[in-house]
Amino acid sequence: MRGPLPMLPSPTRSGPSRADVPAAVIAPGAASARSPIAPPSPSAFVRELDPLAAPLPDAPTFVVIGAGGLGCPALLGLWAAGAREVIVVDPDRVELSNLPRQVLFHGGHLDAPKAACAAATLGPRGRAGQRIQWAAARVDAAWLARVLPRLAPGSVLVECSDAPSLKFAVNAAARAHAIPAAIGAALGWRGQVCAVGPHGACYRCIHEAPPPPELLPTCASAGVLGPAVGTVGALLAATASALAPAAARIAGDTGDPAGGSLIDLDLRRGVVRTLTPSPRPGCPDCAAAPPAPP
């Protein structure tokens, strides 16, 4: 086991008090007009972070890579479930075309960093003890090599980008550093979520290599359905939660609850398939992984 589940206990029936809600994105004067209680500093919930230079949280952390169509619902799911520490990383800025399916943004966010806007939207929904940090950074293999060794035990990667090469880079880094990862994709009516844990097949075992760019359909050419990315993003949050190392203890299960599985969704036909393939002999990412715990 790698450490405690990075979740807060379920909220009480009464929910968070007004004092638990920061003023990060509350309209000026709104808090004083509704309540005499001064809100806490928003820095308790939301702040910018340079993962390459600044100290990282010393508690288990969900690192969400990509704050777009998949990342927004994944962040919503993790935050609502009570994730203690979340880091969201995305280099892009909000565009008008993002708004129909990237549900953490609105017109006032146009041309602002996606990671910052996602964190600011989630901040007021948090409870005491939760923190979300953001970085407008471009993730690649070098970034992963510098950041992943410094994550606290029990952390989980959540890959939500639309770049196949980044999915393979995240898989390789996750296997090399023994960090669980949930890797998702959606196009048209279809979606997939791959759970990479210490046991079972990894993302490269299943897909082997990124497709050639000229053969790769894009959201612009093939389209993407808003409910499809919402469904896959929510499933990414659930899968990441299941991969958190203490989840098996809470469920009374000593096995790996999600690692080595691929969930394939066809939302047009309402078909969901779960595959648990064996590791592929000769997979370079599995060969570079440290021995899995028994």
Q: Is residue 263 part of a domain?
A: yes
What pTM was estimated for this model as a whole?
0.83
pLDDT at position 18, please? Answer: 30
Q: What is the pLDDT of residues 71-123, one digit of tens each?
A: 999 999 999 999 999 999 999 999 999 999 999 999 999 999 999 999 999 99
Give me the pLDDT at residue 26, please.
24
Q: Which residues of the chain have pLDDT under 50?
A: 1-44, 247-252, 254
Label each residue of 163-200 as H, E or C.
CHHHHHHHHHHHHHCCCCEEEEEEEECEEEEEEECCCC
CATH of the domain at 253: 3.40.50.720
What is the domain extent for residue 252?
Answer: 44-287
pLDDT of res. 220: 63
Q: Does the annotation count 219 as an active-site position?
A: yes
Q: Are 33 and 117 in contact (CB under 8 A)?
A: no
For 123, the token pair is 């901040």
Q: Does residue 201 lie in a domain region?
A: yes
According to the model, what pLDDT value does residue 219 have? 64
Residue 197 lies in a domain: yes
Residue 185, in any domain of the structure: yes
- Point out the catalytic residue in the list 160, 205, 219, 286: 219
Q: Map residue 133 onto helix, strand or coil.
A: strand
Instruction: Give the CA-trace dihedral at 280, 143, 148, 124, to 10 degrees.
Output: -120
Tell me whether residue 167 is in a domain: yes
Q: Is residue 1 included in any domain, yes or no?
A: no
Q: DSSP letter at 7?
A: B
DSSP assignment letter at 258: S
Rounded Cα gap, residues 219 and 201, in angstroms: 28
Q: Coil, strand or helix: which one is 64?
A: strand
Q: Reduce the DSSP state of residue 273 to 3 states and report it.
A: strand
Altogether, the residues listed in the chain come to a count of 294
The reply to whether 26 falls in a domain is: no
Q: Is 144 left (phi over 0), alpha (psi -120 to 50) or beta?
A: alpha
Q: What pLDDT shows up at residue 14?
A: 38
**What total of structural domains would you count in the chain?**
1
**Tokens standing for residue 159:** 């890959």
Tell me 220's DSSP state: H
pLDDT of residue 225: 84
The answer to whether residue 190 sits within a structural domain is yes
